[in-house]
Amino acid sequence: MTEIHTPRLLLRRWDEDDLPALADINADPDVMRWTGDGSVLDLEQTAEDIERWEEEWDEEGFGLFAVELLGSGELAGVTGLSVPTYLPEVLPAVEISWRLGRQFWGQGYASEAAQASLEFALQDRGLDRVIAITRVGDTASHNVISKLGMVPEKVTTDPRYGHQLAVHSIDLTEYEG
Ligand SMILES: CC(C)(COP(=O)(O)OP(=O)(O)OC[C@H]1O[C@@H](n2cnc3c(N)ncnc32)[C@H](O)[C@@H]1OP(=O)(O)O)[C@@H](O)C(=O)NCCC(=O)NCCS
């Protein structure tokens, strides 16, 4: 069972009880604005995501964590690692990404979870490089990226939707946490 404790968060794998809370997060247009084509996701799509993430955990040994608040046990959102198959030009690569419910923004939780995910990538998985792929204009994500010490690589076009995507990377062999 893969679990990581940070000062305020538990990062863990998914179970079916997470579905309603994640579906609420995914139903918020402000949360989904910079993800995919910007559409919200319904309950069924959210269930498919959880299933896909769990498959990735089983197949790759890494994946997207459920991010739970240690104090209350609430599901705050999603952070972790995945293979960005939607952007073939960057492959092979492992991507870090994040999504929190709106009430959990502005408290440093995304950065805390992302930092723990990078440490997991390096120490548990032995990865030496992780990238982040974000929409140009997604300033909240860019803020997290710069706090993690990721550096810009290039701007490219999302082959699915035509959006401009910024690719950043971090060399984990130099990572100091
Ligand atoms: C992107 C996203 C995860 C960023 O969340 P966030 O809460 O803004 O990010 P952080 O965890 O870094 O916290 C930011 C702020 O919390 C504040 N904060 C409050 N208490 C804090 C604490 N104890 N420790 C650290 N920061 C704290 C800080 O001021 C920090 O802002 P600063 O870096 O300008 O000083 C969030 O906006 C989100 O979920 N967006 C929707 C999903 C999305 O767009 N995902 C990306 C698609 S690829």
Q: What is the pTM of this model?
A: 0.96
Burial (Cβ within 10 Å: 0-12, 13-18, ≥19) of residue 8: middle
**CA 2 vs CA 24, 64, 114, 172: distances in Å:** 25, 11, 16, 20
Q: How far apart are CA 53 and CA 15, in angstroms?
A: 11
Contacts of 154 (CB under 8 A, 6+ apart): 166, 167
**Could you report the per-residue pLDDT of 142-166, keeping only the tens digit for each?**
999 999 999 999 999 999 999 999 9
Q: Is the CB of 115 under 6 A from ligand 1?
A: no
**Could you report the per-residue pLDDT of 71-126, keeping only the tens digit for each?**
999 999 999 999 999 999 999 999 999 999 999 999 999 999 999 999 999 999 99
Residue nearest to atom 33 of ligand 1 (CA): 143
| Nearest atom (ligand 1) to Cα of 35 | 47
